[in-house]
Structure 1
Amino acid sequence: MIPKSNRTRKKSSQGSEQNKHRRTRSGCYTCRSRRVKCDEIHPICERCKKGGRECVYPDISTSTKQGSNSPPQTIQAGAQGSPGSSWDEYEDGLERTPLEATPSEDEIHKMMAANFGTAPKSNAHCSSVSQHMGGQNNTAGTGSETSPPGLDIGASPTPSTEGSVGYLSYQAFGTSRLGTTSSPSVISTNLRIDWSQLPPDLQFYLAYFYQNLTHLHYSLKFDPGNVLKTTFLDAALRNEALLYALVGFSAFQRTLHNSDGKIQDFLQYYNKAVSLLLESLRKGERHNVGTLLAILQLATIEEFLGDWINLLGHQKAAYEILTELYTPQTIMENEMSRVILGWYLRFDALASLMTGSEMVLDREWPSYAQDFFEQQVSRESTNLNWKIELVFAQLRLIAMDMSTVFAKNGKEGITHGQLFEEIEAIGKRIEAWKTQMDPSLQDSRYLVTDFSGAPAFDPDDIVNPYMPGVIYGGPLWVMNVAAIDWHSISLMHLYQTALTIKTQPSRELCLKAYASCQLFESVELWPGSPPGTVLALQSSLGISCSFLPRDQRHSMWARRKLATIESNGYIYPYTFRTKMSEIFRDRSCIDWWLPNDEGYPPIIRSIRKFVEERSSPAIDLPGEDLRDMKQIFASLKLDDARSRLPPFVFKEQGVIPEVAVVGSQTGWAASHLEPGNMQDVEWLNLAEGGAYGLHAGQGPRGLDQNDSAHRLPQRGFPQGG
């Protein structure tokens, strides 16, 4: 089916605007499916009576009933900035969501023949899935005791060699060296998942998911219990909407790395997931963990497709089910629910960052999570995983509190002095996160000093990604992710502070932007980093690139990194590309990041075009703010020569802590530094350093004239700034 153009959709929606009514969940299913107003007369409404149709009303108690093991909780739609959207609005959004290029039966057969050698019988995958899942509860739980042929749940899907240690092997390595003893566990070998009865295409993509994707593809920072490869997969086999959503995401990822990949290869599964979820919601079926996971998985797909407006709708729905199924206390009871909390909070934080509003979930949730991990660390002081969970919980709570504080700016009921005190308190917590970190999370034994097998050093680089001692490996690899998150939070705090108190942003913005970029590239290029690394760090990179100098060299570095991320399937929205093109002073970035469409994958081009055609106007103010990315870009005035970007660092006597950056004798501001005017730039030195930042005497590119034994990939290594 050929998708209708935006113009057609807009015209038809405008024409019917005057007849639009607000649906409620109390109308009969028949009227709701026909999208007409129901008079709600029982037992048969007037429309169904006249048309001779079956009239069935939803069982309200069924749709709102708590699970037997879930504590009762009332959803307060108006509290804490709750989205307040009805389920009918979410259903309307789902009806607009499906991508309309569902492949024909012949195309499906051709794809199946190419992938599996034989094509399935017509509609085989739908009927087989229903039959397979018919005997299972529609909830998340443990699976069967039989594992699919050739797959061992306990095996690491990544190599575990000395030179390139797979992430999953880090857990066992950490257990033997650092004494991790209990939950969060090392890789679970108890759960055996059997999908052998599913159709071949679903088996294929589940196997692809298991063998090639990691929690980092979901931007989930830490998964010590390997939940995505065990409990999550088992939940998918018990919830059909989740199954198709997961398979759709796996098919999407494979399509990106298939030279002959087409969008039809994954759209059929995505559409099926949306249809199944919509059907479940319309029937008023009781919400469960599978429903919540299906919505979160669809939200992840929407994020990858660059449709952040639809993502916002999924986030609202996830909020309502999350608060229906759990309390701040019960959600911490097992690893799957803790992953769910982190997954949801990430979307909540993303919406807050882009709209400039508070996060939706009540503060009690991340606050209790932090308390929970503090208690676990206290009880098991040698358990490294608990300590890692704690540092991420601290960052989540800081991010939430920061969004709340800055959302107060300009509102009544708070004085300028009170606001500044709260901003200052947040700043102290950001610094304390690093200075008070547990020493075991800074163990120098795991600092990376060998980059053998990495690409050769690029003379045009703005940092030296191969400087020894910048990043961690082994069980502390995940601390690189935490450090980059910390830099991003610190960057946004410094920038928002400057906007709030109406002062020029401090030089620390440049320092932290450089440090964050160096960490990103070091982790990206180190051969020991697991698959999905750049995807997990993409949001932090986008923030850092906003505060780099605007000369050609820095712009091209940033553009190459953004192109790398998008080539891995993370489609940046049109608004983001537009705003960044203004920073780079090159409108061609809207079409593709690199000149002359260099490295522009055809599949990414097709997906971009398709998503832009199906995009619909924002439906509310938060959606409009999200489309405009208000928090980051609204105050930059990027088209103004007097833009409020951070000034460059002045060259001064003495030392500059942590990181050295480019400086000039006259300082830097957007109006003074234009592309090509870099001849006066000098590299400043450091007095001290450490991991999570640049080191002494080596500048932003890590140049150390006195040390040639770094075992770096050598090719055109620069001998000066």
Structure 2
Amino acid sequence: MAEKHGTSSSRSSSPRVPNSIALEKPTENEESLDGDKPHVPHKRTRSGCYTCRKRRVKCDETRPICIRCQKGDRECLFPPERLILSKKQRAHQARKLLRTSAVSTTVSDKGSMDKECDVHNGPPEIKKDEELFSSEEDIESSTVHPEQAQTLYLPMAPYSNTSTSTPNTASTISGTCPTPVPSGLYDDFPNVSPDIAHLFRYHRKNLTHCHYFLSTDPIQFFDQLLTIAHTSPALMYALAAFTSYHYALRHGERYLEDMFGYYEECVKSLLSAIENPDLNVMIAILILSCVEMYLGDVSNEIQHQDAVFNIFQSLYTPETAFETDMHIFFFVWLRFIDIRRSIFSGRYMVLETKWHGIHRQTIHARWLTVLTDIDWRIHTAIIAVGNLYSELCDFAANVRKKTISRTRATRQIEMLRVKSRTWYESLDPALFEMVDPPEDNPLTFEDMQLVPPICYKYWQIGFLNLIFNAWKLYFSSYSALSTTGTIQDPSGTTEIAVLTARIFSGLEAIQKIHPGTPFAGHNYLCFAASFMPDRLHGWMRRKMAQVQAQGYNFPEQIRIQIASTWKNDELYRGWLEGIEPEQPPGVAIPWKRLLQVKIPELNLERESFTAAVSEMRGIFDTGVTIRGT
């Protein structure tokens, strides 16, 4: 099958890389080793590669592989160049970031504001260098680099909520208002309180469907949610909690108390609405599960998702589930979660095949004339990959449970192989036009040399190829399992894994233009990790550490599985722990640490919320118990 990633005969034989990184200038140490210059003393070990630091030897800092690691045939892992900064430099960069991403705002009518938001119960006042309101011209990214964490992390004020609020109104919650916000400031959200309006505006400017781990949103689903949220307290508070978490990652840990307040109000609203659930209730619960995915709270994540599946199947049939565009896209989201759970647990998907068939027919009937030609082709292609995943998930579950004969398994493998090849080759090659990465991208020179990014003119095609490559790896694994009884490393998987890494690198390069892309892409990169060549293990660890530093707490089982596959004991302690004891702190906040600050009420004692959580804890099943769940 001809790969549509820039290597087909109609394009260049290799993906293009910007001219500015074509050649690497020799370092001073390299020149001295050649004898052209006198010997240059070693630099300090603390700024060398992680391997030399761990061995407590001096590093010549030759990139991408230092001389010692090259001679000893060891893995050489450097920290990103931007991390090698003094504390003073990091503090200066963080202050500069805060100044450029916000504008000074003076709250003139403080008396009226005190009536709208109990300042004494809310977070501490914003200081001069921490202005609240974003510039209209400069949309700030929610991505926070590790070097910014030390100064963006501020002491958490103790949570205080001395007054109660009624979930059925849009009034301000005392103790959960992010900061004093002048009433009437946000006319685009007139039906919610000023604090929630501020968060919704922040969401609209800085968060995308990628932050919800989705690769496409042709109907602006999440933007529509902001507009209708005032009609559903549960949905309003769920969106506020989700946005508060990302706001805290950007502006300081102390704002997490807002997330807890909104989270708690959402749970209260759900308890009162669960007797007569609707689409908004299900969306609110899924948003809470997304918060828990970021926090690494697997138990509550699974419990909330189970609740949604139960409610969805009790309210709808395949014939009645897709009455509006919002319902149609909600199913796209629900199916993504269903596929993700099935892949990591090896179990059958919750939603049966009939749901997917009618959903596909409805999309063709409703969206063909609504979307632009490009959006239509890209979105339907991503939906088609989801259909391939659905079929493969059921096949994989049959193989794992040994409910399928080897002869039948062989036939299904061949059918899926032909089906996937025919579909992929039918896609328009014009969709796969490649472009150079943006000049202003977060990739280091070393990363671009080691894993040259692949960027596409239509950026969501990057997701399409990323998802399809992960599917091919998943397919290859279970093809081997069904014929040999063990999951092997079939031929060609290493090349697919490297290609997956390059596409992920391309998505990472555009995250300033399209925020949140690493969140939507990391699942597929994690699956490719098992097939990565040794030379990319260090790169992979660094990428996962960076995604975690941006706010996503990986389930421990993912890292443990990769550690087992790579036979690398250091990964049991963390992505970079054990190599770098003085690793700069990330901004991801572990759930256990949050529980020490404020424990939200999670005792949802309803029949639909207790769908055998203990049985579902195998979602990241590697035979190792998940601690803390």
> After TM superposition, is the score higher than 0.5?
yes
CA contact 2:244–2:255 (8 Å) conserved in 1:
no
- Pairing partner for 1:110 from 123, 140, 144: 123
189, 196, 201: which is aligned to 1:202?
A: 196
Mapped partners of 1:611, 1:540: distance in 2: 30
**Partner-residue secondary structure (3-state), 1:234:** helix
Structure 1 match to 2:445: 458
Does 1:364 find its partner at 2:354?
A: yes
Q: Is 1:548 aligned to residue 532 of structure 2?
A: yes
CA contact (8 A) 1:261 1:603 kept: no
Structure 1 pair 289–374 and aligned structure 2 pair: CA distance change class (3 A): closer
Aligned-partner Cα distance in 2 for 1:509–1:411: 25
Taking the aligned partners of 1:350 and 1:612, their CA distance within structure 2 comes to 30
The equivalent position to 1:268 in structure 2, one of 248, 261, 264, is 261
Pair 598,448 (structure 1): closer, same or farther in 2 beyond 3 Å? farther
Change beyond 3 A, Cα 1:568–1:515: same
Deviations 1:608-631 (Å, cap 9, x if unpaired)? 54469989999556423214257x
Match of 2:165 in 1: 126
Q: How does 1:7-86 map to 2 (within 5 A)?
A: none
Which residue type is aligned with residue 449 of structure 1?
D
Whether the 8 Å contact between 1:349 and 1:359 is mirrored in structure 2 is: yes
CA distances 1:224-258 after superposition (whole Å, capped 9, x unpaired): 2222112x113321111111111011000011112
Cα 1:597–1:345 change in 2 (3 A) is: farther
3-state SS of 2:416 partner: helix
Pair 1:536-2:520 in alignment:
yes
Stretch moving more, 374-383 or 418-427: 374-383
The answer to whether the 8 Å contact 1:263/1:606 transfers is: no
Counterpart of 2:461 in structure 1 is 479
Judge conservation of contact 1:377–1:386 (CA < 8 Å) in 2: yes
How far off is 1:570 after superposition?
1.3
> Partner of 2:114 in structure 1?
none
Note the 1:634-713 alignment, pairs <5 A: none
CA gap 1:588/1:267 in 2 versus in 1, 3 angstroms? farther
Counterpart in the other structure of 1:516: 500
Deviation at 1:450, TM superposition (A): 5.2
Question: What is the CA distance between 1:455 and its match in structure 2?
Answer: 4.7
Aligned twin of 1:32: none
Check 1:396–1:294 CA distance in 2 against 1; reply closer, same or farther (3 A cut).
Answer: same
Q: TM-score, normalised by structure 1?
A: 0.57
Whole-Å separation in 1 of the counterparts to 2:264 and 2:622? 28
Alignment match, 1:493: 475
* Cα distance in 2, alignment partners of residues 540 and 304 from structure 1: 16
Q: How far apart, in 2, do the equivalents of 1:460 and 1:214 lie? A: 25
Any conservation in 1 of the 2:338–2:351 contact (CA below 8 Å)? yes
- The CA deviation string for residues 300-356 of structure 1, in whole angstroms up to 9 with x for no partner, is 111111122322222221112222333334444432112210111111111111110
SS at match of 1:459: helix
> Structure 1, residues 201-229: CA drift from partner, whole Å, max 9, x if none?
22222221122111110122222222211
Match of 1:62 in 2: none
Gaps of 5+ in 2: 1-117, 133-156, 173-182, 604-609
Shift of 1:574: 2.0
* Amino acid of the structure 1 residue aligned with 2:585: P
Q: 1:437/1:257 Cα in 2 relative to 1: closer, same or farther (>3 Å)?
A: same
Aligned AA (1:235): I
Helix, strand or coil for the counterpart of 2:436? coil
Contact 2:463 2:521 in 1 (8 A): yes
Alignment correspondent of 2:295: 305
**Is the partner of 2:348 in helix, strand or coil?**
coil
| Structure 2 counterpart of 1:389 | 379
Whether the 8 Å CA contact 1:215–1:228 is kept in 2: the answer is: yes
Distance between the aligned counterparts of 2:368 and 2:327, measured in 1?
A: 22
Matched position secondary structure for 1:604: coil
After TM superposition, list the pairs within 5 Å mapping 1:171-210 onto structure 2: 194=189, 196=190, 198-210=192-204
Query: Relative to 1, partners in 2 of residues 1:506 and 1:596: Cα closer, same or farther, differing over 3 Å?
Result: same
* Counterpart in the other structure of 1:582: 564
Aligned to 1:279: 272
SS in 2 for 1:242: helix
Identify if the C-alpha distance between structure 1 residues 349 and 106 changes in structure 2 by more than 3 Å, giving closer, same or farther.
same
Q: How many Å separate the matches in 2 of 1:334 and 1:373? A: 10
In structure 2, the partner of 1:229 is 223
Higher relative contact order (CA 8 A, sep 6+): 2
* 1:588–1:299 CA distance, 2 compared to 1 (3 A): same
Cα gap change, 1:500/1:597 in structure 2, threshold over 3 Å: closer, same or farther?
A: farther
Q: Which amino acid aligns with 1:570?
A: Y
Call closer, same or farther: CA 1:374–1:619 in 2, change over 3 Å. closer
Q: Cα–Cα, structure 1 residues 374 and 511, in superposed 2: closer, same or farther, change >3 Å? A: farther
Equivalent residue letter for 1:311: E
Q: How many angstroms does 1:539 deviate by?
A: 0.4
CA 1:453 to 1:382, structure 2 compared with 1: closer, same or farther past 3 Å? closer
Q: CA deviation at 1:409?
A: 1.8
Q: Give the direction of change, closer, same or farther, for the CA distance of 1:528–1:310 in structure 2 (3 Å limit).
A: closer
Task: Please point out which of 399, 406, 411 is paired with 1:409.
Answer: 399
Q: 1:319 aligns to what?
A: 309
Checking the alignment, whether the CA contact within 8 Å between 1:306 and 1:573 is kept in structure 2 is: yes
The percent of aligned pairs where both chains have the same amino acid is 24
Q: By how many angstroms is 1:148 displaced? A: 7.3
1: CA distance, partners of 2:368 / 2:197 = 43
Change in 2 beyond 3 A, CA 1:236/1:124: farther
Tell me which amino acid in the other structure corresponds to 2:482: T
Is the contact between residue 354 and residue 629 of structure 1 (CA under 8 Å) also seen in structure 2?
A: no
2:418 matched to which residue of 1?
428
Letter of the 1:520 counterpart: F
Residue deviations 1:162-185 (CA, integer Å, cap 9, x gap): xxxxxxxxxxxxxxxxxxxxxxxx
CA contact (8 A) 1:332 1:338 kept: yes
2:303–2:613: 8 Å Cα contact kept in structure 1? no
Report the CA distance shift for 1:344/1:618 in structure 2 as closer, same or farther (over 3 A): closer
Structure 1 residue 456: Cα displacement: 6.3
Q: Are the equivalent residues in 1 in contact too, given 2:241–2:262 (CA < 8 A)?
A: yes
Letter in 2 for 1:268: G
1:218–1:300 contact (8 Å) kept in structure 2: yes
| Cα distance change on mapping 1:202 and 1:108 into 2, 3 Å | farther
Partner AA of 1:126 in structure 2: S
* Equivalent position of 1:343 in the other structure: 333
Report the Cα distance in structure 2 between the residues aligned to 1:293 and 1:381, rounded to whole angstroms.
23
- Tell me the amino acid that sits aligned with residue 477 of structure 2: Y
Partner of 1:570: 552
Cα 1:620–1:218 shift into 2, 3 Å: closer
- Counterpart of 2:66 in structure 1 is none
Q: Unpaired runs of 5+ in structure 1?
A: 1-104, 135-146, 152-192, 635-721
Between 1:385-394 and 1:396-405, the stretch displaced more is: 385-394
Against the structure 1 CA distance between its residues 133 and 384, is the aligned structure 2 distance closer, same or farther, given a 3 Å change threshold? farther
SS in 1 for 2:455: coil
Seen in structure 2, the aligned counterparts of structure 1 residues 414 and 131 have a Cα distance that, compared at 3 Å, is: closer
Amino acid at match of 1:221: S
Q: Distance in 2 between matches of 1:251 and 1:320?
A: 28
